[in-house]
Amino acid sequence: MSAILLVLSSPSGGGKTSIARRLLERRADVGYSVSATTRPARAGEVDGRDYHFLSRDEFQRRVDGGQFLEWAEYGGHRYGTLRSVVDEQLAAGRHVVLDIEVEGARQVRRAVPSSVHVFVLPPSAQTLRDRLEGRRTESPEAIGRRLAIAASEIAAAGEYDYLITNRVLDEAVATVSSILDAEQCRTQRQPALEERLAELAEAVRIEAEQARTAGAAS
Ligand code: 5GP
């Protein structure tokens, strides 16, 4: 099996983090890339589980050291995917989910052309606003900023390979899971394809010959 790098993007409040979490609970073959960020931790967030929370200097040091597969600025803070985190998951043979914004997704597309990109749309603008307000983690100004960014992110959704609408969480999770399954069956992703097909075709030829011989003998 060749492990897949799955990029999940959506506007803030669109539900990609919940989809990623639930996908991880359901599938042992999927790992999550914990991002690094300079944003302060929200109440309930744990360093190393939700994010690696870094100072701006530390983040810059890692940028200079080439440690990021991608990184971008969002809402005045930096967010990035550490190569080491992704490599660790891929080496363990797991697909890796990246929950990242649009600019970072573009960088991943350039760096890893075989990555699969899914954009999660909210069912409506009102739902998006309700979800952001319901989290009670941001001020009205911050919510306004996030919704403004959301509008420009939705405009870029056409760049993605798949678009799904997050109406019911479990259904969205099932859809993302089927995308992973289908992508795994892609001809181009099959390891040693020519050898496997040649071997099987040869085995079938032998069966054909034996069937003919058995027919002639009876
Ligand atoms: P939040 O502050 O709500 O946790 O995340 C804000 C935005 O940053 C979300 O769209 C989230 O997907 C994105 N984000 C989180 N981690 C990364 C990352 O490693 N790289 C990039 N480019 N965006 C990220």
Query: What's the CA-to-centroid distance between 202 and ligand 1, angstroms?
Result: 50
0.85 cut: is pTM over it?
yes
Q: From 17, 46, 74, 121, give the residue whose CB has the most ligand 1 atoms within 8 Å, as the site to mutate.
A: 74
Which pLDDT score is estimated for 203?
Answer: 98
CA 119 centroid distance within chain: 9
* pLDDT for res 197: 97
Residue identifier of the C-alpha nearest atom 15 of ligand 1: 100
CB of 38 sitting under 6 A from ligand 1: no
Nearest to 146, CA basis, from 98, 82, 77, 99: 77
Q: How remote is the CA of residue 100 from the centroid of ligand 1, in Å?
A: 5
Q: Evaluate: CB of 81 within 6 angstroms of ligand 1.
A: yes
**Structure tokens given for 163:** 């678009």
Q: In this predicted structure, what is the pLDDT of residue 136?
A: 83
Q: Which atom of ligand 1 is nearest to the CA of 9?
A: 12
pLDDT value of position 1:
65
Q: Is the CB of 79 under 6 A from ligand 1?
A: yes
Q: 51 C-alpha to center of ligand 1: Å? A: 10
Q: Is ligand 1 within 6 A of the CB of residue 153?
A: no
pLDDT means per 10 residues, the chain with 218 residues, are 92 91 96 96 94 98 98 96 95 95 97 97 94 87 92 96 96 98 95 95 98 88
Ligand 1, atom nearest to 72 Cα: 22
CB of 19 sitting under 6 A from ligand 1: no
Query: Per-residue DSSP letters for the chain?
Result: ----EEEEE--TTSSHHHHHHHHHHH-TTEEE-PPEESSPPPTT--BTTTBEE--HHHHHHHHHTT-EEEEEEETTEEEEEEHHHHHHHHHTT-EEEEE--HHHHHHHHHH-TT-EEEEEE-S-HHHHHHHHHHH--S-HHHHHHHHHHHHHHHHTGGGSSEEEE-SSHHHHHHHHHHHHHHHHT-GGG-TTHHHHHHHHHHHHHHHHHHHHHHHHH-
Ligand 1, atom 7: closest residue by C-alpha: 101
Do residues 85 and 37 lie in contact, with contact meaning Cβ atoms separated by under 8 Å?
A: no
